Structure 1
């Protein structure tokens, strides 16, 4: 082989080695690049675990958050339900309190409206004898006399209606239960010390015959069974004890 051929051969081999080296280097670079890409895609183990933990933590957080949110919502619903129940109970208590208070007010008003009637033991009776209270003996039956009833008790009482009036003779043997008029009446309340009265239409007479001379009058307050006895202050009456429509009769209280 000639020296020029040897040189060409040596150059060719050198070129081949350089090419091979270049190919090897390129392959290494390629492998390194692929390895880096895979590592970047796969991520380091530590970072992968941390990321997974973070994701799990986030997921767990979301789940716990949902549970916590559900629990919180349940608590809020329960609290809201309790608050409503409390408010309802409060309203019931207020209503009950109001009912009791209304009921307390109604009892007080009932007490006022339910004043007891006047009893004989709490009253005193007397004929009105001053001024115009004196019956006119010349009126021929068109005159009146009044009996005053006074509340001598310590509390108010109510009275109204017809009293019973029985006239009695001196010895009490001859009684005259006076008839009642047809007048309407209402009830009145007497405070302690207050008085009311009722009138008696009387037929006075000066005749010496056919007369009746009362000595006392027994006054029985309405709805009572016991009476108050007062002295008769006037003269004689026409005796009409057996008459159907006597001119001497009782008018109501109130």
Structure 2
């Protein structure tokens, strides 16, 4: 065999080996691709199924339909929960309003719903029976009482300081009595009920330095209209300009 023939034979064998190597490599590449696809597809399917069971937690890749279904289910659940929560909250608010209204109606009957006593619903008079009259011989002062009666048809509440203005016979000389520092509360008067307040008075029998009242204008607390009653007692020491007079008004209640 010649040298040229030997060289051609070697080249053929080399070409065959190279071709075989390329074929093997191609086959391995195809096998690898096929295996990768096969491995990825089951993994994707498994993830999609788990995501569907979990309510749409999967990715948006090959499991798109499962993810969409899961998202809709999640939205549906959330919407249902929101509606339920809103309805429950609305029911709670409505119940609270109804309860508060019922409570307000029940609590406003006898106590807080009672209006204050107005002048038009009261009558006034000095207490004159028994020991109600002031002692004309008292040293340093004594007291007299004014009785206020609810003449209306409804209960009313009264408390605080009344205004008391003493007037002379012709009404020309007026004495607005000062108030004491006594504390006070309030009282509810049913129709026909009465309450009173006292006036400290400093009487005198002297013929000088006295003041002789003829009437007393009594203005109930928080009112502007007065009730005029006749003064039934004697003369008072005239202390209209005194800083701390011995004749002054005490509160109701």
- Say yes or no: TM over 0.5: yes
TM-score tier, shorter chain, comes to 0.5 to 0.7
Alignment map for 1:185-200 (pairs within 5 Å): 185-200=184-199
Distance 1:84 1:220 in 2: 62
Q: Structure 1 unaligned runs (5+)? A: 1-77
Which residue is 2:107 aligned to?
A: 109
Select between 91-100 and 193-202 the one with higher mean Cα deviation: 91-100
Distance 1:140 1:119 in 2: 37
Shift of residue 137, structure 1, vs aligned partner: 0.4
Distance 1:141 1:157 in 2: 36
SS at match of 2:97: helix
Alignment map for 1:1-254 (pairs within 5 Å): 89=87, 92-93=90-91, 96-110=94-108, 112-254=111-253
Distance 1:159 1:178 in 2: 20
**Any conservation in 2 of the 1:204–1:236 contact (CA below 8 Å)?**
yes
Distance 1:210 1:110 in 2: 53
**Any conservation in 2 of the 1:125–1:149 contact (CA below 8 Å)?**
yes
Shift of residue 90, structure 1, vs aligned partner: 6.5
Deviation string for 1:78-128 (max 9, x for gaps)? 9xx979967974774365134213223214424531421111111110000
Deviation string for 1:190-238 (max 9, x for gaps)? 1111111000000011111111111100000111111000011111111
SS at match of 2:144: strand
Distance 2:192 2:84 in 1: 54
**Any conservation in 2 of the 1:216–1:232 contact (CA below 8 Å)?**
yes
Distance 1:223 1:212 in 2: 28
Distance 2:191 2:102 in 1: 26
Q: Could you tell me the TM-score, scaled by structure 2's length?
A: 0.64
**Any conservation in 2 of the 1:159–1:190 contact (CA below 8 Å)?**
yes
SS at match of 2:197: strand
**Any conservation in 2 of the 1:141–1:201 contact (CA below 8 Å)?**
no
SS at match of 2:120: helix
Distance 2:215 2:179 in 1: 18
Distance 1:119 1:141 in 2: 35
Deviation string for 1:164-185 (max 9, x for gaps)? 0000111111111011101111
Select between 179-188 and 99-108 the one with higher mean Cα deviation: 99-108
Alpha carbon RMSD of aligned pairs, Å? 2.7
Which residue is 1:36 aligned to?
A: none
